[in-house]
Amino acid sequence: MKLTDVLGLNRRELELINPLNPRAQILKIAANKIAAKALLVEHGLPVPALYGVIAHAGDYARFRWQDLPLDFALKPSGGGRGCGILVTNGYRDGAWRSHGGAPITLDALRYHVLAILHGDFSREGGCDHAAFFEQKLRTARDLTGETAQGLPDLRVIVREGVAVMAMMRIPTSKSDGKANLHQGAIGVGIDIDSGRTLNAVLEGECRRSHPDTDRDLVGLTVPDWPRIRDIAVHAAKISGLGYTGVDLVIDDDIGPAILEINARPGLDIQIANLRGLRGAIAATSAPSLVAQPA
């Protein structure tokens, strides 16, 4: 493969994000998860259920903390890169529990909400500092059939209504249940047409198997792939953003559900697929990213 097929940060900014993702739309959708969720629900797309929103001090004072379920995800509406997300894993001995079993007391939860309202986790220059509680999604088994160590998710890159590249991010023991490649999760490239896994990458290096279970990660098929791809494309279209990374989870109960829409999707997906995004976009007959003759 030629390096000219690879999309770099400069070109992503100049030729995809600047012309295709209007700043106002980024602030409206990618930097405001509550608004994005409302838009997705309005269009009948599957999202985790919303339990409650705390947008300002008045909401905070009135919030009925005792009504929170045992399991939930607390998120900053303007957050990004997974910052500020707090997920509970049951309630024991007077406190919710984290993925690793550490206690999350009501006081700690309240302070976390205050930090979100204060803007500690807000990204994209947005001024939406609301906190919201939503349904915790569950995937009991990962793609290989082993017990999932966290919540594997899917990232689909959509450019102007066309899905161009996809990957699954599978948490490992090293990533401590998080599906973040920088924290040690494994990225698995997915063939955009068939949903078959192509290659896996861990910390920048290619591999074929899961580091914890040694199960093969290549040649598997993502269940219900055409539907997942269609959901991602539909979500990207209604977002008003021309270049997005749509994150989804295959929940055991509700099936594929959209976690969020990213206006600046990362570039590691290219390594997971062993393919450049520039080349992939050119192959989907998008006109302007094809390398220009000198």
Partner 1 sequence: MTDVHPGPANPTKPALAFVALFAATALLAAFEPLRLAVETLRTEGAQGATLDSLLLLPAGVVAIVIFRLVIGLETFGLFAPLILAFAFAKVSPLIGVAVFGVLLVLVSPVGLWLARFPLLSTARTASLLVLSSLLLLCGFALFNALGGQLRLIDLGLPVVALSGMMDRFVSAQLDQSPQEALKLSIYTLLVSTLVAIGVIGNPWLLEQLRAHPDLLLFCFPLCLLLGRYSGLRVMEVWRFRVLARAS
Query: Which residues make up the interface to partner 1 (CB under 8 A)?
Result: 1-3, 5-6, 8-11, 14-16, 18-20, 22, 81, 83, 107-108, 111-112, 114-115, 118, 120-121, 160-161, 182-183, 201, 204-206, 237, 240-243, 267, 270-271, 274-276, 286-289, 292
Phi/psi of residue 59, nearest 5 degrees = -60, -40
Minimum separation from the CB atom of position 151 to partner 1 (A): 18
Q: In the complex, what is the shortest distance from the CB of residue 252 to partner 1, in angstroms, rounded to a whole number?
A: 29
Question: Across the beta sheet with 103-104, what order do the strands follow?
Answer: 91-92, 95-97, 103-104
How many of the other CB atoms lie within 10 Å of CB of 207? Answer: 14
Residue closer to partner 1 (CB basis): 34 or 202: 202
Q: Which phi and psi (to 5°) does residue 131 adopt?
A: -110, 145
Give least dist CB 266 to partner 1, A: 11
Distances (CA, A) of 72 to 101, 136, 261, 279: 15, 5, 20, 40
The amino acid occupying position 167 is M
Residue closer to partner 1, measured from CB, 1 or 38? 1
Residue nearer to partner 1 on the CB measure, 158 or 250:
158
**Cα angle at 99 between 96 and 103, to 5 degrees?**
35
- Shortest reach from residue 126's CB to partner 1, in Å: 15
Q: For partner 1, which is the closer residue by CB, 19 or 125?
A: 19
Positive or negative: CA dihedral 175, 177, 182, 184? positive
CA–CA distance, 101 with 154 (Å, rounded to integer): 26
For partner 1, the closer CB: 221 or 288: 288
Closest approach, Cβ 173 to partner 1, in A, equals 16
DSSP 29: I
Q: Which is nearer to partner 1, 157 or 250 (CB)?
A: 157
| Residue closer to partner 1, measured from CB, 100 or 145 | 100
What's the residue count for the chain?
Answer: 294
Tell me the helices (H) and strands (E) count for the chain, helix number first.
9, 14
Beta strands in the chain (DSSP E): 50-54, 73-76, 86-87, 91-92, 95-97, 103-104, 131-134, 153-159, 162-170, 186-190, 197-202, 205-207, 243-251, 255-262
Rounded to a whole number of angstroms, the minimum distance from the CB of residue 184 to partner 1 is 10
In the complex, what is the shortest distance from the CB of residue 17 to partner 1, in angstroms, rounded to a whole number?
9
